[in-house]
Amino acid sequence: MTQNDTVRGIWLMVATTFVFAVQDGLSRHLASEYNVFMVVMIRYWFFAAFVIALSARKAGGLRDVARTDQPLVQIFRSVLLALEICVMVAAFTYLGLVESHAVFVSYPLLVAALSGPVLGEQVGWRRWLAIAVGFVGVMIIINPGAGVFSIYALIPLAAASMFALYSLLNRYAARRDTAATSFFWTGTVGCVVMTAIGIWFWVPMTGPDWIWMAALCVTGVTGHYTMIKCYEVAEASAVQPFAYLQMPFAVAIGLLIFGESLRASVVVGAVLIVGAGLFTLWRERQRMRVARRVAPV
């Protein structure tokens, strides 16, 4: 990878986070008017079509891309992501974009915490300390000791936990399947599951809302496309820190478009969470560098 490739990858990641933040804003609007399952179902229809079209262009076609010897893992991780999206969109409707994203951004810390029991990886004391700091940040945001505490504050934390487990299952599946295979299963299985659920909540949509729905689907496809291109041109460790930009983008949309408020405790908690998350990414990058140096040539 050249320096130009890394810079290009960073800008692609920035574009990805902005597009996904816009997608979250559209999801918040539509889910406030229609059932969450219905909104996510339609979103998955377009996502599945994109995945199938992309997979069909691969060498060997759909049959080769879909081939896996761990179908249960692929099905479980795909269902988990679909349900996580539903939970997170529900969080948008109850809490708004600002507080939902402030808590959800803790998922990299949950990945680090769960990497031991799920993947058998070793987590050092420094990363455990960062995880503890991030957890303090979450507690500051949801403020469980306050008289105004709402159980809804736990919804984005549940979504973050689900997404963390999904991320770990991605790494587990990658030991034997290609990224293209996992991507195919993610789109197709998620589409089947959400159709089976969402079709029961179908109601007619107004003309303007169909336009918003089309925009939601376009942002989903665009975001995944730019993310794929990002990882094609740059190393994941170089661009991953910039994924945190989705939170400030989403916060800006929440404040400017939906008139949400920004509590001081949310800012303090988010700073702790992001800081701890960036530290764990840095420690992981250092560990990988050491592993490459000691690996036999």
Q: Give me Rg for the CA atoms of the chain.
A: 19
The answer as to whether 117 is a domain residue is no
Within 10 Å of residue 30's Cβ, how many Cβ atoms?
A: 25
User: How far, in Å, CA of 279 to CA of 194, rounded?
Assistant: 36
The answer as to whether 221 is a domain residue is yes
More confident residue, 120 or 291: 120
The answer as to whether 73 is a domain residue is yes
Residue type, 255: L
pLDDT at residue 148 tops 50? no
pTM of this prediction?
0.88
The answer as to whether 171 is a domain residue is yes
**Predicted confidence (pLDDT) per residue in 103-118, tens digit:** 898 888 888 888 877 7
Give the pLDDT of residue 147.
42
The answer as to whether 114 is a domain residue is no
pLDDT at residue 151 tops 90? no
End-to-end CA distance of the chain: 19
> Backbone phi, then psi, for 145, in 5-degree steps?
-85, -5
pLDDT at residue 296 tops 60? no
- In Å, how far are 83, 99, 143, 256 from 260, measured between CA atoms? 25, 9, 18, 8
Structural domain harbouring 199: 3-96+150-263
The answer as to whether 253 is a domain residue is yes
**Predicted confidence (pLDDT) per residue in 26-61, tens digit:** 999 999 999 999 999 999 999 999 999 989 988 888
Give the pLDDT of residue 2.
59
> Backbone phi, then psi, for 228, in 5-degree steps?
-60, -45
Longest dimension (CA), the chain: 62
The answer as to whether 189 is a domain residue is yes
The answer as to whether 111 is a domain residue is no
**Predicted confidence (pLDDT) per residue in 202-258, tens digit:** 999 999 999 999 999 999 989 988 988 888 887 776 787 888 889 899 999 999 999
The total domain count for the chain is 1
**Predicted confidence (pLDDT) per residue in 64-80, tens digit:** 999 999 999 999 999 99
**Predicted confidence (pLDDT) per residue in 179-195, tens digit:** 889 999 999 999 999 99
Percentage of the chain surpassing pLDDT 90? 48
pLDDT at residue 149 tops 60? no
Give the pLDDT of residue 187.
94
